[in-house]
């Protein structure tokens, strides 16, 4: 995996910058290292950039892995257009980076905002793999939330709207430090987070807390959650995570700030390596690899795969959507959503909280545009 035998990069700054164009005009910045083995995709949090992963690069550069570090649109060296910074927009950018590098199976590592971005990417069913959540951001809307909770969440989402956005971010950074957080970590956060353009910060946060992204959809792939009590966790946080991630490893820290991977890199990197080893067999293939039909979103297995024109099994579509090398129905995405909505009772058997038909439609409208058949 070395770039050359006599000059191995020592820091992230030594890696070549790459760009992929998203939506015809938006340049997304990323760096990669390694040509083979397991792929680990690192996604930073709000206001940060890919340099937050320096200690992870140091720990994994000599491993048999391929590392992908991404600056989300609006952050770092990526373009900062005046657009809606939704979870779908961020997930689309990650998808384009991974596709341009031929990545299928991947372990997503997301910090803070990066966690819901990685969740959104995984729920599009385009990339298989696993998730590592570092003190991720969550909103819980299950019908039992109080008026005070909703007001607090929405208030936070709009806190970055005004001309004092920079001061708000500065105060926000100070709240992220734990009692033992090294000053250099706070200094890093202070050097990058308040520099976020106001329109990027406001749009990111408003969209982050939008109820439509938080439908309690389970992710059945392996997940490791490492979180800090300093972030104000609910007493039942582990139970909430278990409902979202049936295949869960859970670590809760009592004396650490928000930047766990920077503050306790040895602990974090050790757990990440163990998690990765547990997910792969000797052929470097995910043991619990789950694929979904890229037309209707149903889980794929050897019995329900569609067929190509030569009779072989198709890797992307189910037998109900694709047979003999062509789609069984000439329909629009909206028509497919209406058709699938009739199976909501079956879907609810695998959900932590049952959805109504309309809620299921909303969920499909969210992730269907990222399926292969409906991508624009």
Q: Report the DSSP pairing between strands 26-33 and 18-22.
A: antiparallel
Q: Report the DSSP pairing between strands 128-134 and 223-228.
A: parallel
- Predicted confidence pLDDT, tens digits, the chain (376 residues): 333 334 688 899 999 999 999 999 999 999 999 987 789 999 999 999 999 999 999 999 999 899 999 999 999 999 999 999 999 999 999 999 999 998 888 999 999 999 999 999 988 756 678 999 999 999 988 778 899 989 999 999 999 998 999 999 999 999 999 888 999 999 999 999 999 999 999 999 999 999 888 888 888 889 999 999 988 898 999 999 999 998 899 999 988 999 999 999 999 999 999 998 887 643 344 444 467 899 998 888 889 999 999 999 999 999 999 999 999 999 999 999 999 999 999 887 766 567 888 888 888 887 787 788 987 6
| Per-residue model confidence (pLDDT) at position 216 | 84
CB 322 within 8 A of CB 307: yes
**Residue 156 token pair:** 């936070």
Q: In whole angstroms, what is the distance from residue 94 CA to residue 370 CA?
A: 12
Backbone angles phi, psi at 12, to 5 degrees: -60, -35
Which residues are 133's β-sheet partners?
110, 225
**Ordered DSSP codes for 91-152:** HHHHHHHHHHTT--EEEEEEETTHHHHHHHHHHTTSSEEEEEEES------SS---HHHHHH
Q: In whole angstroms, what is the distance from residue 4 CA to residue 14 CA?
A: 13
Q: In whole angstroms, what is the distance from residue 2 CA to residue 14 CA?
A: 13
| Per-residue model confidence (pLDDT) at position 7 | 66
Q: In whole angstroms, what is the distance from residue 300 CA to residue 305 CA?
A: 6
Interior/surface letters 51-89, b for 16+ CB within 10 angstroms, e for the rest: bbbbbbbebbbeeebbbbbbbbbbbbebbbbeeebbbbb
Residue 268, Cβ density class (10 Å: 0-12 exposed, 13-18 middle, ≥19 buried) = buried
Select from 96, 94, 50 the least CA-distant residue to 71.
50
Backbone angles phi, psi at 238, to 5 degrees: -60, -40
CB 71 within 8 A of CB 29: yes
CB 319 within 8 A of CB 325: no
| Per-residue model confidence (pLDDT) at position 179 | 86
CB 336 within 8 A of CB 296: yes
Q: In whole angstroms, what is the distance from residue 305 CA to residue 321 CA?
A: 9
| Per-residue model confidence (pLDDT) at position 217 | 84
CB 204 within 8 A of CB 85: yes
Tell me the residue ranges of DSSP E strands in the chain.
Answer: 18-22, 26-33, 38-43, 65-70, 105-111, 128-134, 223-228, 248-253, 291-292, 299-300, 305-307, 313-318, 322-323, 326-327
Q: Model-level pTM?
A: 0.77
| Per-residue model confidence (pLDDT) at position 290 | 63
Domains by residue range for the chain, with CATH:
12-279 (3.40.50.1820), 291-370 (no CATH)
**Residue 128 token pair:** 């298989």
| Per-residue model confidence (pLDDT) at position 284 | 46
| Per-residue model confidence (pLDDT) at position 288 | 44
**Residue 193 token pair:** 């987070």
Select from 292, 345, 275 the least CA-distant residue to 109.
275
């Amino acid at each position: 995996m070395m770039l050359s035998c006599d000059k191995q990069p020592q820091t992230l700054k030594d890696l070549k910058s790459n760009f992929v164009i998203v939506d015809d005009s938006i340049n997304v910045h990323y760096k990669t290292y390694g040509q083979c083995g397991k792929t680990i995709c690192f996604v930073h949090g709000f206001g940060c950039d890919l340099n937050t992963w320096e200690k992870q690069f140091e720990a994994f550069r000599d491993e048999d892995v391929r590392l992908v570090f991404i600056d989300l649109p609006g952050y770092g060296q990526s373009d900062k257009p005046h657009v809606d910074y939704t979870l779908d927009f961020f997930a689309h950018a990650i998808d384009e980076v991974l596709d341009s590098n031929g990545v299928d199976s991947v372990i997503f590592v997301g910090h803070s905002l990066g966690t819901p971005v990685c969740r959104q990417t995984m729920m599009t069913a385009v990339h298989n793999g696993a998730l590592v959540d570092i003190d991720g951001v969550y909103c819980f809307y299950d019908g039992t939330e109080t008026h005070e909770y909703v007001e607090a969440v929405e208030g936070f989402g709009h806190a970055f709207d005004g001309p004092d956005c920079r001061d708000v971010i500065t105060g926000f950074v100070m709240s992220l430090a734990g009692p033992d957080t090294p000053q250099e970590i706070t200094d890093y956060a202070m050097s990058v987070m308040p520099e976020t353009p106001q329109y990027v910060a406001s749009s990111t946060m408003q969209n982050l807390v939008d109820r439509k992204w938080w439908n309690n959809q389970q992710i059945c792939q392996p997940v490791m959650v490492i979180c800090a009590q300093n972030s104000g966790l609910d007493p039942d946080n582990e139970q909430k995570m278990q409902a979202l991630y049936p295949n869960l490893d859970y670590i809760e820290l009592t004396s650490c700030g928000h930047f766990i991977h920077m503050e306790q890199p040895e602990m974090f990197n050790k757990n990440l390596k163990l998690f990765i080893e547990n997910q792969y067999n000797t052929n470097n293939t995910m043991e619990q690899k789950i694929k979904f039909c890229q037309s209707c979103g149903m889980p794929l297995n050897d019995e329900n795969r569609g067929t190509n024109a030569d009779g072989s099994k198709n890797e992307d579509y189910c037998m109900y959507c694709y047979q003999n090398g062509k789609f069984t129905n000439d329909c629009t995405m909206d028509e497919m959503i209406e058709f699938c909505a009739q199976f909501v009772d079956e879907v609810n058997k695998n959900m932590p909280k049952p959805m109504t038909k309309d809620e299921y439609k909303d969920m499909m409208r969210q992730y269907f545009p990222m399926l292969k058949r409906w991508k624009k």
